[in-house]
Amino acid sequence: MKTRDIEPFFATLKAANPMPVTELEYTSVFELLTAVLLSAQATDVSVNKATRRLFPIANTPQKILNLGVDRLEDYIKTIGLYHSKTKNLLATCEILLEQHGGQVPRTREALEKLPGVGRKTANVVLNSAFGEAVMAVDTHIFRVGNRTGLAPGKNPLEVELKLLKRIPPEYLVDAHHWLILLGRYVCMARKPLCWQCAVAPFCDFKPKTEPPSLLPQAKS
């Protein structure tokens, strides 16, 4: 993607969705951290279904610990890898209580020391909860960064650093949400909907096949 195309690319995304937010449901920073931790290799839809049952019962570190392994697993067993996620969430809650007064820390270094929290999860919390201009690169953003030519890279960190360098500052805080929604609903892995994409004029990707006709076919 040419440098001159980056500003109109994001201006178009902003015009379509001026105030983007994560699709994970939460009402506190701890709920967000929990939801993101549970979302690894799972859909936001499946996480939201589980947390709609969990959070009314336990939405603080102490309340999660009070559930114990078996009861917590019962709430999140519909989510993939729920055994390991239960272990990580309980361990994270212990650290939050012992080292952070039950609060979610506001630095990437401290967040990444929590079990089950990697760079992407830390960046989601820093961005969505604390409004920091960071970039959480998941599979959708990795694909969009490479496919569009906005930030080609061989790994998530390389894509992240290029995005931070190339995205205009005025768009950076919301860029994560715009790019993930673009990848989730339009720039999909197998069949990108290029003919429906508002930012296609700025994209390096050229579809190999023509789009299906959007007009009704006459009967013979």
Catalytic residue, chosen from 14, 113, 138, 154, is 138
- Is 120 among the catalytic positions? yes
**CA–CA dist 216, 156 (Å, integer):** 42
- Is 154 among the catalytic positions? no
Which residues does 47 contact at the CB level (< 8 Å), separation at least 6? 24, 35, 38, 39, 79
DSSP 8-state symbol, 159: H
Full DSSP string of 20-66: ---SS--SSHHHHHHHHHHTTTS-HHHHHHHHHHHTTT--SHHHHHH
Find out whether 137 and 145 touch, Cβ atoms under 8 Å.
yes
Catalytic residue, chosen from 77, 120, 191, 206, is 120
Residues designated catalytic: 120, 138
